[in-house]
Chains A and B, each alone.
Chain A
Amino acid sequence: MIAVELRKLVLRPRMWVSVGLLCLLPAIVAVFLATADFAPPPGQGGAFLSAVVNDGKLYPAAALALVLPLFLPIAVAVVAGDSIAGEASGGTLRYLLVRPVGRTRLLVAKLIAVAVYVTAAIVIVVLTSLVIGVLLFGTGGSEVIPGIPAQGGVVSLSGAPLSSSSLGLRLLGAVGYIVLSMLGFAAITVFLSTLTDSALGAALGGLAVLITSSVLETLDAAAAVKPYLPTHYWLSWIDFFRDPVLWRNIDHGLLLQAGYIVVFFGAAWANFATRDITS
């Protein structure tokens, strides 16, 4: 069943369009940065943006910072919202269940397919932005900005130089962390997807959860619930680029997302497995 879901994913033109759009945003930003030939002032633009002009190898991190706040969640919401509700509205859900495919099995396969999609999307974004970054900004030294020594090299947020292998490992950690963050969100949207027959409704519901969480995050009065908000630790992947790596928020973020996955996947299972399929 998992293999079937993955094949469906691959055969879906919509998926490739969404991945392409995800890659497009960092590419556009990179082109503007390269043609303008000056770094954005510190504190403006996304994280790492002011640093990438020195070394394109850091561009994948900047690309992640660009797509994470909005593009990636939207793509995940669309795919996760489509998981059950899309099959229901397309009339294929009943045939899958009659085939028979166990309802829990179908849910698991759907979640795994979403996980594969998220991983693939992020990895593709990282790879394309790495290529774009190296092509446009070079690897250190090759494109000298006046006033900056020509040695180049990637610097961690804490100012320590990063070797290529260390950068690779940190990037890998960040990708893994973002994937899990997205899966927590995907679990919520998959649950919503089992509640309705409208894929769009489920995706919008997921985004509504996201926006609510982001709004509460800025509200001091909501301090008590903040550590439980799904988006609370989303930006902590940046801690992989500190020196030493600040694990505290990453650990908490991982536990939180694992909690969201367990609870909302459980809710999806409880609802979907005992629900009347009338679509």
Chain B
Amino acid sequence: MITTHALTKRFGRIVAVDAVDLSVREGDRYGFLGPNGSGKTTLVRMLLGLVYATSGEIEVLGRPIPKRVAEVLPDVGALVEGPGAYGHLSGRRNLTLLDAAGPGGGRRTRRKRVGEALERVGLAHVDQRPVKAYSLGMRQRLGLAAALLRRPRLLILDEPTNGLDPQGIKEIRELLIELNQDGTTVFLSSHLLAEVEQLGTRVGVVDRGRLVLEDDLEALRAATGRVLVGTPDPAVAASVLDGQIEARDGDRLVIRHDDPAALNALLVGAGVRVRSIDAERRTLEQVVLAATGPGSDRFGGPE
């Protein structure tokens, strides 16, 4: 769905995006993770033909950008760096104008489309008040509704949960997963690790303009070959697993072992009471921290 090759963008002497090779496959829920100022928004803008690359190539839906961006965009829904709407008009009027501005879709079905989009994001019963009276969360939902207006094949969302309360975040997440299951590819950029971890099936990590990591979430979170065991009898366990224990913290043990089930059987067979047992997995945070340096908005600290 999205492929970039050696994509680079310079603003004067500042390199915002540096030789990024991105690959988003159809059906992905792609989490594009990076701290603020790492070039996420610039990359998203380049994908949409708003900002022109300094060098490199972009392909979205199999077509080159920005050359044939006009053919691609009708199938793309986007939310870029916060929603934008005319403050003096109602949300419904905003969507109607936006729908009328672009190609496709008849005038007769416009009302229905707008109504459906508003319903999807939970604004079905919003009144006629102007957008400037909306809360940040409502504006965010309106922005999402605008992105969903055309039933896009690809959703490119930049920080979509900004300003939403936890309930709203959950609703949006469920909505995105539902859309994804109906066949929409979702590209979501965020600086929130938890958001990407909860939603994504695939993760790209960007740091100071460079793509430092790109893989399936499952692969990143593969078992480490260690098992975490909680037991009231750590001393007994230690004697049973002589040499395999890597760390011991009170009644919690870290054991080098491939198969938690087999280990469990072994311990129980040896009369060790097991309170909890689980294969150790790397957290996304660990992966990301390993791949990136300190935050790019830090200045003067140790590099």
Contacts and interface: CB of A to CB of B under 8 A. Distances in A.
Task: Determine if chain A interacts with chain B.
Answer: yes
Interface of A: 1, 3-4, 7-8, 11-13, 90-102, 274, 276-278
B17 to A, nearest CB: 12
A4 B101 CA distance: 6
Interface stretch (B48-56, B222-230, B247-255): B48-56
- What 10 A-B pairs are tightest by C-beta distance, nearest first? A91-B84, A100-B73, A99-B102, A277-B50, A276-B51, A92-B84, A4-B101, A98-B78, A4-B100, A98-B48
B163 interface: no
A8 B97 contact: yes
B86 A99 contact: no
Given A7-B100, A100-B103, 7 more contacts: A3-B100, A11-B93, A90-B85, A91-B84, A93-B84, A96-B98, A97-B49
17 contacts: A1-B101, A8-B86, A8-B97, A13-B88, A91-B83, A92-B86, A94-B48, A98-B73, A99-B98, A99-B101, A100-B49, A100-B102, A101-B102, A274-B52, A277-B51, A278-B50, A278-B51
B76 A98 contact: yes
Interface string B52-88: 1000000000000000011001101010111111111
A234 B76 CA distance: 47
Nearest to B99: A99
B85 A92 contact: yes
Interface of B: 45, 48-52, 69-70, 73-74, 76, 78, 80-89, 93, 97-98, 100-103, 146
Contacts of B50: 94, 97-98, 276-278
Most buried by A among B48, B50, B82, B88: B50
A135 B216 CA distance: 79
A11 B88 contact: yes
Nearest to A276: B51
Nearest to A5: B101
B64 to A, nearest CB: 15
Contacts of A99: 73, 98, 101-102
